[in-house]
Amino acid sequence: MIPHLFTLMTKPEKAWADIRRDEAKNSSKYIPHLLLFTLLPAICMFIGTRYVGWSLVDAERIRLDTRSALLLSGLIYITIILGTFIMGLLLRWLSRHFESRATFNQCVGFVAYIISPFLIAGLGALYPTRWMAIFVLLAAGAYSTYLLFIGLPRFMHIDKRKTFFYGACTWGIGLLVLVNLKVPMILFWVLALDPTYERTVQEAQSYGTQDERPQEEPGGL
């Protein structure tokens, strides 16, 4: 599992050949990879939102309380797992139109390995800032796209002449799944689970102590 992850990041062509060979022996070998590595962004999100926090203004630091951070991390973990299986199901349906004989397990495993850069990018959640999020997501998206187009002919046995169209369809489906899972998850967390924000305001020269500084109502992420 770990060697496949390392090889995917360094020698993706060899990695896809190895993954396909291992899949022939055990079609569910992707499950430990998915379940374990999905913990990475969830744990990093908990640490970043609970102990590091983010800032909307220079003199203020916002964090989540333990309960809210745990609920957010748990929802992220469940959403990634659910989204991977939904993508696998849709990829299986799409593969029929490209004369691919990939099974459901193969499609889910393919998606699980493709999203590996995004799981690694979860390390950016340790320091939850806007620019950090933009940078790691763009980098992860670029490399995931590369893995997708390299892996389609080698793992999914798609005709190389159809790789671009199949890959574009896969990305379109991926964005659709992301929006339809991520938005309801965030709304559920904000509206139903009632997160609690903790604000730390640095002492300003215009006020004698931090307690004398006017307090604002907690805002959102």
Assigned token pair, 92: 């299986």
What is the reported pLDDT for 66? 96
Residue 203 is assigned to a structural domain of this protein: no
Report yes or no on 8 lying in a domain: no
Q: Is residue 52 part of a domain?
A: yes
Going by pLDDT thresholds of 50, 70 and 90, the confidence category of residue 1 is low
- Whether residue 97 lies inside any domain: the answer is yes
211 domain residue, yes or no? no
Tens-place pLDDT, residues 96-109:
777 777 889 989 99
- Flag whether 55 is in a domain: yes
Q: What local confidence, expressed as pLDDT, does residue 219 receive?
A: 44
Provide the residue range defining the domain that includes 60: 30-197
- Which CATH number fits the domain that encloses residue 90? 1.10.1760
Q: What is the largest CA-CA distance in the chain?
A: 73
Q: What's the total number of domains in the chain?
A: 1
Whole-number Cα distances in Å, 214 to 58, 67, 188, 202, 203 = 15, 26, 31, 12, 11
Is the pLDDT higher at 5 or at 136? 136
> Is residue 99 in a domain?
yes
Q: Which residues of 3-41 are buried (b: 16+ CB within 10 A; e: fewer)?
A: ebbebbeeebeebbeebbeebeeeeebbeebbeebbebb
> pLDDT digits over 113-169, tens only?
999 999 999 999 999 888 898 999 999 999 999 999 999 988 888 888 888 888 999
Q: Is position 209 within any domain? A: no
